[in-house]
Amino acid sequence: VSLGYVDGRVVPLAEATVPLTDRGYLLGDGLFETMRAQNGHVFRLEEHAARLRHGLHVLGLDEGLITAFRDAVGALVTAADPGELYLRVHVTTGPFRDVPGMDPEPAVTGLCRPLAGYPGSAYAGLRLVTSAHRKDRRSPLSTVKHMSYLPHVLARRQAIADGADDALLLNEAGRAAEATTANVIAFRDGVAYAPGPGEGALEGVTRGVLLATIAEAAELRFSLPLDVLAEAEEAVLTNTSGGAVPVTRLDEAAIGDGRPGPWAGRLRDAYLKAVEEETR
């Protein structure tokens, strides 16, 4: 069953509302985290809290909101069924007021529902198209998970209209940054190219989990030039919903031999094992 969290209470999701005047609605002026849970345990809650803390800092909001975030997570997980859950918790700057500079009264909301993940067919390999939208590394928002998501939404919508699965966003320097809801990692000649915050990508929690596995067998580099991606043997997208999902095409070209490679399977297994160990 799907649940919402508003005004400190858990309600059926279909009944959860927010004020029209919430700045999260009017202006996209807020932050969010998406998480997965099982048996009442949220996977890597501390990493999500740390990323949220970074966002609070960039938005000039009080770090104490981390407590309200934990309360929302706890209330949703406690009220939900013990199966695999998807959680999304938001912190917005609260009601719109006309006086500039007035202290915000932040609001915390959330929702949870059964984890859907990627369809099984995704693991046969995704096709990405390069988006015209770019991440700008100079913006402090480029590494913040915030509610003004329309550029990414539009990039994804365009990719799907073009018959692809997702869009690859470049940074303003023209190197790969991320997909619209996932980090990207490519492999070539024993080196893993995993663009992170320094390249304008969000610091994905799943990416962090998988880098530990990758580091056992490959050298790590934290940028992904397009010429490297064009010659990669393999590439994956990583996020909370999918773990590691193989990417087998970029625009009109195959990546590697156009089929999922050994890294994709290895990382998917490593991710599911990490989730299982932490949430069983």
Residues that bind a second copy (CB under 8 A): 4, 6, 13, 16-30, 32, 58-60, 88, 90, 98, 100-101, 109, 111, 116, 132-134, 136, 138-141, 146-151, 153-154, 156-157, 160-161, 172
| Least gap, CB of 147 to a second copy (angstroms) | 6
Q: What is the DSSP string of 87-145?
A: EEEEEE--B--SSTTPPP--EEEEEEEE---S-GGGGG-EEEEEEEEEE-TTSGGGGS-
- Amino acid symbol at 71: D
How near is the Cβ of 197 to a second copy at its closest, in Å? 16
Tell me the closest approach of the beta carbon of residue 263 to a second copy, in angstroms: 25
Among left, alpha and beta (phi > 0; psi -120 to 50; other), residue 8 is left
When computed from its CA atoms, the radius of gyration of the chain, rounded to whole angstroms, is 19
Q: Which is nearer to a second copy, 60 or 190 (CB)?
A: 60
Q: How far is the CB of 214 from a second copy (least distance, A)?
A: 28
Minimum CB distance to a second copy, residue 256 (Å): 25
Q: Rounded to an integer, what distance in angstroms lies between the CA atom of residue 173 and that of residue 73?
A: 37
- Strand 30-38 to 191-193 pairing: unpaired
| DSSP track, 139-201 | SGGGGS-BS--HHHHHHHHHHHHTT-SEEEEEETTSSEEEESSSEEEEEETTEEE---GGGT-
Q: Cβ closer to a second copy: 136 or 269?
A: 136
Nearer to a second copy, 48 or 146 (CB): 146
The pair of three-digit structure tokens given for residue 102, joined into one six-digit string:
């007035």
Q: Are 130 and 251 in contact (CB under 8 A)?
A: yes
**Would you say 208 and 197 are in contact if contact means Cβ atoms under 8 Å apart?**
no
Q: Least separation, in Å, of the C-beta of 45 and a second copy?
A: 21
- Measured from the CB atom, the residue of 23 and 207 that comes closer to a second copy is 23
Residues 6+ apart with CB under 8 A from 218: 187, 190, 191, 192
CB of 231 or CB of 251, closer to a second copy: 251
Both tokens assigned to 93: 């700057």
Considering the complex, state which of residue 164 and residue 244 has its C-beta at the smaller distance from a second copy.
Answer: 164
CB of 174 to a second copy, least distance (A): 12
Please list the residues that pair with 127 across neighbouring strands.
Answer: 249
Closest approach of a second copy to the CB of residue 221, in Å: 27
Nearer to a second copy, 25 or 222 (CB): 25
Q: Nearer to a second copy by C-beta: 76 or 270?
A: 76
